A and B are shown apart, each in its own frame.
Chain A
């Protein structure tokens, strides 16, 4: 049983560009959230999706947007990239309404030059 899978594993972009990161949740999970982990820092919650809608959002600008598909997979889009967007982006999944732990993917390392 595959866990949470993220793609790509690494990505290099330049300032002002746009990027899309992808996440497939663990089998049986329907809720996905995204986190940003800057170097040497703890992950910060970006937003959560279930039933194809954004349900909760952290303190991130509108440049960060997302999408969830009918198969529960998700995308994170970041527009107008800034140098400060360089970070490890983590996806986590769970089954809505359960008290199970979150499962995290290994992340996408984004470098903005």
Chain B
């Protein structure tokens, strides 16, 4: 079945550092890919998405490019802030509006001032 694998965490960086969180997937067909963020005590929030190969999703300075040849969707940000500290989840579904998402295990990010 479909699956998502994220880089092991936790990840700790200093403010203004460059961030990469790796994500690879296994799926049949052409899934839609997502990054969700979970702040303490809050629900999951969609950070960005991409629906087809070579699409780049972006939001709040974060970016991820749908790479079908490497089945990857790595999350990047050029300069992280303390407020970016959260748990990040890579996920896929068979379409954008689908209720069934397959999530990776999550990566906890801590940014130190």
Contact = CB atoms under 8 A, between A and B. Distances in A.
Interface of A: 3-4, 31-33, 35, 40-45, 48, 56, 58, 90, 92, 94-95, 97-107
A107 B39 CA distance: 12
**Chain A interface main SS type:** loop
Given A41-B105, A42-B105, A56 B100 contact: yes
Contacts of A44: 103
B100 A45 contact: yes
A20 to B, nearest CB: 20
B31 interface: no
A31 B99 contact: yes
Contacts of A99: 95-97
B77 interface: no
Most chain A CB within a 10 A radius of its CB, from B42, B45, B89, B99:
B99
A25 B103 CA distance: 21
Nearest to A96: B97
Nearest first, the 9 closest Cβ-Cβ pairs linking A and B are A42-B103, A104-B43, A33-B99, A104-B44, A99-B96, A48-B99, A99-B97, A101-B46, A106-B43
Contact of A4 (B43, B46, B89, B91): B43
B99 A92 contact: yes
A98 B97 CA distance: 6
Contact of B45 (A32, A45, A104, A107): A104
B113 interface: no
Nearest to A106: B43
B102 interface: yes
Contacts of B43: 3-4, 90, 103-107
Contacts of B104: 42
A97 B100 contact: no
Contacts of B95: 99
Contact of A45 (B41, B44, B102): B102
Interface string B61-83: 00000000000000000000000
Contacts of B4: 42
B97 A100 contact: yes
A48 B101 CA distance: 11
